[in-house]
Structure 1
Amino acid sequence: MTLNEYMELPYRMEIVPDKEEGGYAVMFPELPGCMTCGETLESAVSNAEDAKKEWLMAALEEGQEIPGPDGLNDYSGQFKLRIPKSLHRQLSEHSKQEGISMNQYCLYLLSRNDAIHSQA
Structure 2
Amino acid sequence: MLYPIAIEPGDDTHAFGVIVPDLPGCFSAGDTLEEAMRNVREAIDFHLEWISQDGECVPAASQVQDHANKPEFRGFVWAVVKVGVASGRSQATIPHAVMQAVVDGVTPVKAWREYLNLGHADVAGRLGISQSAYSQQEASDKLRKSSLEKIAGALGLALEQLDF
Q: What is the TM-score of this pair, normalised by structure 2?
A: 0.37
Contact kept? 2:4, 2:63, Cα under 8 Å? no
Q: Is the 8 A contact 2:5 2:19 kept in 1?
A: yes
CA distance in 2, matches of 1:30, 1:24: 19
CA–CA distance in structure 2, aligned partners of residues 42 and 22 of structure 1: 14
Matched, 1:66 2:25: no
- Please give the alpha-carbon distance, in whole angstroms, between the structure 2 residues aligned to 1:60 and 1:40: 30
Of residues 24, 27, 35, the one that matches 1:43 is 35
Within 2, Cα distance between the matches of 1:38 and 1:32? 19
Instruction: Could you list the structure 1 runs, at least 4 aligned residues long, displaced by more than 3 angstroms after superposition.
Output: 18-21
5+ residue gaps in structure 1? 1-8, 73-113
**Correspondence for 1:77:** none
> Which whole-Å deviations, capped at 9, do the CAs of 1:4-30 have from their partners, x for residues lacking one?
xxxxx1000111024695120001100
Mapping of residues 18-97 of structure 1, within 5 Å? 18=10, 21-71=13-63
Q: Equivalent residue of 1:12, what SS?
A: strand
Structure 1 pair 54–12 and aligned structure 2 pair: CA distance change class (3 A): same
The aligned counterpart of 2:75 is: 116
**What root-mean-square deviation, in Å, do the aligned CA atoms of Structure 1 and Structure 2 show?**
2.4
TM-score normalized by the length of structure 1: 0.50
Gaps of at least 5 residues in structure 2 are: 65-72, 77-164
Question: For 1:26-76, what per-residue CA distance to the aligned partner results, in whole angstroms no more than 9, with x for missing partners?
Answer: 01100000001000000000000000000000000001121101157xxxx
Is the radius of gyration larger for structure 1 or structure 2?
Answer: 2
Give me the whole-angstrom Cα distance separating, in 2, the residues matched to 1:62 and 1:21.
37
Code of the aligned partner of 1:49: R
Task: Render the CA deviation track for 1:71-120: whole Å, top value 9, x for unaligned.
Answer: 57xxxxxxxxxxxxxxxxxxxxxxxxxxxxxxxxxxxxxxxxx8428xxx
2:34 matched to 1:17? no
Q: Percent identity?
A: 28
Taking the aligned partners of 2:4 and 2:17, their CA distance within structure 1 comes to: 14
Q: Quick one: structure 1 residues 65 and 20, their matched pair in 2 at CA, closer, same or farther if it must change by over 3 Å?
A: farther
CA contact (8 A) 2:8 2:75 kept: no
